[in-house]
Structure 1
């Protein structure tokens, strides 16, 4: 099979990439190891975007970069905000954003399953050929060292596949290093490996040691509600927690001494009302065990988020080129150090990065 652009991946960044490439006039093939629209951590979550009014862009970047360790690039972050402001409203016809003051509120939580279902539909209608259950195993290199496609296996039909393409975009997501983080089972770092084998470089991996709270009996890691917990040790003694990123450091130290429990008793009423709407799967593990997380005490653990919430990944230029001719990277597989520096790229910046980097990579791959 031949194409102008081959996109490897099936989550948020991959679909924005494929859509941008097709809209730029490219003949696009998307291959996913799973089913495009259900792949990656977005499919299990309610996500927000770093979606800021243009007049507030510089302020928003300055506030975030105040804790970035001095290594972020303000212009790159501003490009993310501008592109997200441009692209996200194109979803209005396909995703029911909540309405506030008579207009869509795109700063609100977006339900991952519906979001990716809409993106798959947009990609399909744009003429992209989607090959589900087609994991890629290697990039194909031309004699001059440039990337000219990829090859892999067909999980359902059997046999192998090969796509020759003018350019390849890796949008394979980050990796949670087999921590069992919900939605990350397919995030194995295969895109990182293929790119490095072709000559690409990694950056920011030292900033990929983030952890998130989850019930000890589940992989359901959705961190917002845990901000409102009262934490105790096995003897019922309250664990005093600082605000900010050191919270999990203190909890981790306590877990090394013994089990840690919480009750989400300080969650305000608006959070309790909102959780079933924006993250309906958050309550499922509790419901199945007859636990009311807002009243009952339950044990918690920490799950590693690796480069999904951390910022490490492939080094890319302004148009998401990796430095290996013909190879681009979008989303969590690429380093977000220029956007957020030495702090977490999770939450709204990561979603905005998926939108913007996918747009840049898709368009640049067609030009290539």
Structure 2
């Protein structure tokens, strides 16, 4: 597969992203900033006011979103129409993460204490769902899930008995088991994950996975190279020290190059150094030289453009052209999560049913 060089220019990157194509009729652009006229999120009418913190971009035409009120929507025509494929058994639950293998197969996670944490799986585009996991432990609270491939995946819970709990599947989410916690470092007082964007647990390649934390004295990022059996932990240079601060979203373009975003999610609270970068698989992290101006909850690399990534939050979207060293404002609209399946297939989702696809006029 051809990869673009790190030194790709801004105009060339825009062309590679397919941003010269006009938006679908009836879909409005958000406003843009900082020298990117006509480039932004083309909003797609979902017909709902649900808040979508779960997002799975499959292609330019196909995407899944999940969120409040047990809602799951799917599009296969680029967002021109959406089908409500919500699991009936999830009514009233918060479906904060969804991972899709294609237009027909997806796995969704609901969050909450005890039995509110559940996992659902569909093989027919959401026409029917099977509940494959219901948390029996009132001390556990599951936040995020990730898949290495179509068979192997993990889900993570806030600490139980002082350590984060990891759930594992090796059959595509049909069955799950709790992994032993002997290889997991002790959690800090108050430390937990943030179920804000479905990105507090992410993977790259067949065995590497990273877990983001907040709420403790320092924000931390944990890494496992054996699918969750053993972990190492590193401090992250983002705001911490209070329950509302920490790392909210992670993205790795390969097993070495990672981005972390977060800050303080409380409205009006400053979030200096809200982004960090790793070039060694998460062993060390350094703050971005010029990070986003405010808290960001979600982040995604743009495939085939190794220096380009997007970060989103309630106050807007930022873009980096230098692999996270510096960020510039792209769009002021509110989103909670972002995902890219290709250079022309970047999607974002958030409050009040907002879903957008990155396009240009």
Answer 1 or 2: higher relative contact order, Cα 8 Å, separation at least 6. 1
- If you compute each CA radius of gyration, which structure gives the higher value, 1 or 2? 1
TM-score, normalized by length of structure 2?
0.27
TM-score, with normalisation over the residues of structure 1? 0.26
More helix by share: 1
Report which of the two has the higher share of strand.
2
